[in-house]
Amino acid sequence: MKKYLVSLFVVLVLFVGVWAQSTIVVGTTDKIRTLDPALCYDYFSSNILQNVLAGPVDYKVNSTEIVPNLFESWEVSEDGLEYLFHVRKGVVFEDGTPIDASIFKFSFDRVINLGGDPAFLLSDIVKTTEVVDDYIFKVTLDYPFSAFVSVLGYTVGWPVNPNVFSADSFYDGAPSASGPYKVTEWIRDVRITLQANDKYFGEKPKTDRIIILFYENAATLRLALETGEIDIAFRHLDPRDIQDLKSSKNVQVIQGESPQIRMLVFNAQKEPFDDPLVRQAISLAVERDVIVEDVFLNMASPLYSLVPMGMWSHEDVFQEGDLEAAKQLLYQAGYDEKNKLVVDLWYSPTHYGTTEADVAQVLMESLEKTGIIDINLEYAEWATYVDYFLNGNMGMFLLGWYPDYIDPDDYLWPFLSENGARSMGSFYVNPVTESVMRAARVATDQEVRSQLYKLVQQDLAFNAPYVSLWQGVETVAAQNNIKGILLEPSQVFRYYLLYKE
C-alpha cells in the first residue's frame, strides 16, 4: 500500500509538472470588447484574434514586412484595381470547415454589409468581391491603393466560419479558430483560456495553454506577478511599478519602441467643439512634457503629429504649451475670464491603465491655466466609453491608437476620412483633406505620398479635430523563466511563441 501511495505521488508530481510546463498565465488590466472581426477595433481584442484566427497575410516575425499566409500569392492588374488572391489549400477551421475563396467572400462581404467600427477599412476601397474558383478570390477596388495588401494584415479582413458567424448580425461569442490557438473558455472580464489548435496548418505553439486573467488595476496586476499568480503582466503596469520591478531579481522587464500613440479627440459636430477656434485653443494649452515627465516618468515621448516619430512623412505640426496664444483664440471664440468655457473631459479608467486618471488630471490643470477654461472630469468603463463616443455623446475625450497596418495612411485615413472619423467619434468632415489623402493612396512613389501626407498633417494642426499627446513605449514584465517575448514593430503580441525554460 505504501509503495502504491508513493507511486501515485510520483505520478501526480509528474502530472503537475507537465501541466505547469505546458501552461503560461498572462495578466492584464485591459478588456475584451468583442471577438467578432467585423466589430473589433481595439488593440487587446484584436490581439486575441491574431492568436486565434489566421489572416490572409501576416507580418514576418519581429518586422513590418508583409508575408503570405492564407493567401499564398497574388497578382495585381496593371491599373492597380484588381487583385487575384490564391488561397492556401488544406486549411480548415477547428470544426473542420475548409477555408476557401467562398469563405473569404463571405467574410469580406459580411464586414462591409454590417458596417461595424472597422468596416470602412474595406468599404472605403473595395468595390466588389468574387469567387473565381474554389481557391482564387478576386477583389476589385474603387481606386488604386498601394497599401491595400497591408490592410489585410489587420483582423478586419480575416476569414470567419459561416457555421458560427451570421451574415446579417454581429456575433458575441468566441470565433471558430483557424490560427494557433482556440478558445476553450471565456468568462468576460475574468479569464479567457486559449488551447493549442490541433487543426492549425502552421507550426505548433510552443506552449499548449495560455490562460489570460483580467485584473481591476495596476496594483493588483503587479501583486499577481510578484506572488507568482501570473507568469506575464501585459497591459498595463504603472510606470512607478515598472521602475521598481526593473530592480527585482525574480522578474524581467522588457521594453520596446512602439508606434502606439495617444491623442485628445473632439467631436467636431458637438458644441462648443464645432468651433475650430475652441479646438485650436485647447491644442495650444496642452502641456505634453508635463504628462510625459510626471505621469510616465519619461517612459514615453511628446508627440506633435498623428503620424508617429520614426515613420516616413512624420512632421511636427502641433505647438507646445502656448497659453497666451490659447487665450487669444478663446477671446475670439467669445469666451473670457467672466464667461468661461466649461466642458467635460472624458477618460476610461482601466482600458489604458491606471495612469489615465493622472493624464486627465494633468490635462485639466494645463487647460485651466488659461483662466478661461473650466474642466469637469468624467469617466466610463471601456465598453460604455466606446458606445458613448461612437454615438456622439462625448465632446472631448482621450483615445489611443495602435496601427492596423504599418503605413502613414493608417494614422490619417481612419481619423480624417468621413467614415473613419465617425468610428473615432470625431465626426470630422473635410472633403479637401479627404481628397488629398485619396491622392496619397493612389500614388505609388513614396516621396509623392510623403509630401501629400505632410499637407494633411498641416491641415490637421490647423483644424485640430484631434490633438496628439504622446508616443508610448511597450512594456511587458514576466517571471525570469519565461522566454519568447517579442515586442514587435507590428505590435502583434504572439502568445504562440511564449514558453517556459
**What pLDDT is recorded for position 16?**
45
If pLDDT is split at 50, 70 and 90, which confidence band does 321 have? confident
Give burial (CB, 10 Å; 0-12/13-18/19+) of 290: middle
pLDDT, tens only, 445-483: 999 999 999 999 999 999 999 999 999 999 999 999 999
* Nearest Cα residue to 364 out of 346, 381, 384: 346
Rounded CA-CA distance 351/379 in Å is: 11
Judged against a pLDDT cut of 60, whether residue 21 lies above it is answered with no
Q: What predicted TM-score, i.e. pTM, was given to this entire model?
A: 0.92
CA nearest to 311, candidates 104, 500, 130, 64? 64
- The SS3 call for residue 24 is strand
Q: Give the pLDDT score at 224.
A: 98
Q: Give percent above pLDDT 90 in the chain.
A: 94
Beta bridge partners of 15: none
pLDDT one-digit tens code per residue, 119-150? 999 999 999 999 999 999 999 999 999 999 99
Peptide bond into 272 cis (omega under 30): yes
Residue-wise pLDDT for 59-106, tens only, equals: 999 999 999 999 999 999 999 999 999 999 999 999 999 999 999 999
Residue 247 above 60 pLDDT? yes
Q: Cα angle vertex 327, ends 323, 330, to 5°?
A: 140
Q: How confident is the model at residue 320 (pLDDT cuts 50, 70, 90)?
A: confident
List, in order of start, the domains of the chain with CATH numbers: 23-31+174-256+475-500 (3.40.190.10), 53-157 (3.90.76.10), 257-473 (3.10.105.10)
- Considering the chain, what percentage of its residues have pLDDT values greater than 70? 96
Tell me the average pLDDT across 282-294: 97
Q: What is the pLDDT of residue 73?
A: 98
Cell of 461: 494642426
Q: What distance in Å separates the CA atoms of residue 327 and residue 331, rounded to the nearest whole number?
A: 6
What average pLDDT does range 252-280 have in this prediction? Answer: 97
